[in-house]
A and B are shown apart, each in its own frame.
Chain A
Amino acid sequence: ILNVEQSPQSLHVQEGDSTNFTCSFPSSNFYALHWYRWETAKSPEALFVMTLNGDEKKKGRISATLNTKEGYSYLYIKGSQPEDSATYLCAFYGSSNTGKLIFGQGTTLQVKP
């Protein structure tokens, strides 16, 4: 059974704080790692698709790193804003998964103004 774990489960920060969360995934049969942001009452929105060990991707104040050998990815948010409040999901895509994503439980971020 493939296991994708995210920590922490939830996080409360003040506006302006920088924060980061972790996604752990199987290090074997790796193909890609996806990050999504899911705001309440909206659809999950893709942030990054990461494929190479050592990959770093950035979108505005949000960035992510990937370590496929040890099986983890970090998502960083610099200078958190209230609009960053959402659940952040990572999903593992294995080379034998035939198109299927295995999701972690998510990290729910609340940014207080």
Chain B
Amino acid sequence: SAVISQKPSRDICQRGTSLTIQCQVDSQVTMMFWYRQQPGQSLTLIATANQGSEATYESGFVIDKFPISRPNLTFSTLTVSNMSPEDSSIYLCSVKEGNAYSNQPQHFGDGTRLSIL
């Protein structure tokens, strides 16, 4: 199964700043996703990162706030822009081998634990 390296593992940031999270996979994968888990909440999909084109965002998430890059099939970044305390969360990247309908589980990075002061 794919091995995912996500960094940073944690950060404490000031209100109004931006942070970019990196996700590196050890093999080429078509499907890559970014999730957020706010305290006490479920894992929520932010967007699907599409190689070579704009990410597909879920309802409630916009590109200006969470710009995503996916320059190739092994790497993606998520930026959390103009941060506020409500952005304090765990951010996870995940990948799925195969296509959208293959019965494969998703594999996750270790997550980025982000706190905004």
Which positions in A face B, CB cutoff 8 Å?
4, 31-32, 34, 36, 41-46, 49, 51, 89, 91, 98-106
Report yes or no: B103 in contact with A100, Cβ–Cβ below 8 A: no
Contact B101 A31 (CB under 8 A): yes
Are A46 and B31 in contact, CB atoms less than 8 angstroms apart? no
**Cβ B4 vs Cβ A43 within 8 A:** yes
Chain A interface, >50% SS class? loop
B43 A103 Cβ-Cβ under 8 A: yes
Alpha-carbon distance between A100 and B106 when the two chains are bound, in angstroms: 10
Chain A residues with CB under 8 Å of B108's CB are: 43-45
Residue with the greatest number of chain B CB neighbours at <10 A, chosen from A32, A41, A43, A45: A43
Chain A residues whose C-beta falls within 8 Å of the C-beta of B111 in the assembled complex: 43
Q: Is the CB of B106 within 8 A of A105?
A: no
Residues 64-101 (chain B) with a chain A CB within 8 angstroms: 92, 94, 96, 99-101
Decide if B16 is an interface residue (CB 8 Å cutoff).
no
Tell me if B41 counts as interface (CB < 8 A to partner A): yes
Q: Does B48 contact A (CB under 8 A)?
A: yes
A104 vs B41: C-alpha distance when bound (angstroms):
9
Task: Name the residue of chain A whose CB is nearest to the CB of B1.
Answer: A46
Instruction: Enumerate chain B residues within 8 angstroms of A42, measured Cβ to Cβ.
Output: 110
Instruction: Determine if B42 and A99 form an interchain contact, defined as CB atoms under 8 angstroms apart.
Output: no
Number of B residues near A (Cβ < 8 Å) is 27
Complex Cα distance, B43 from A60, in Å, reads 26
A89–B103 touching, CB < 8 Å: no
User: Which of B48, B92, B104, B109 is the one whose CB lies under 8 Å from A100?
Assistant: B48
Asked whether B107 lies within 8 Å of A49 as measured between CB atoms, the reply is no
Instruction: Using A34-B106, A43-B111 as known contacts, say yes or no to A103 and B44 having CB atoms under 8 A apart.
Output: yes
What sequence of 0s and 1s flags, for each residue 49-66 of chain B, a beta carbon within 8 Å of any chain A beta carbon?
000000000100000000
In this complex, the member of B4, B35, B42 whose beta carbon has the largest number of chain A beta carbons within 10 angstroms is B42
Q: In the complex the two chains form, what is the Cα distance from A103 to B113 in whole Å?
A: 19
A46-B44 contact in complex given A98-B100, A99-B31, A99-B96, C-beta closer than 8 Å: no
Question: Does B19 belong to the interface (CB within 8 Å)?
Answer: no
Asked if A46 and B105 make an inter-chain contact with CB atoms under 8 angstroms apart, the answer reads: yes
- Residues of B8-49 at the interface with A, using a CB-CB cut-off of 8 Å, are 31, 33, 35, 40-45, 48
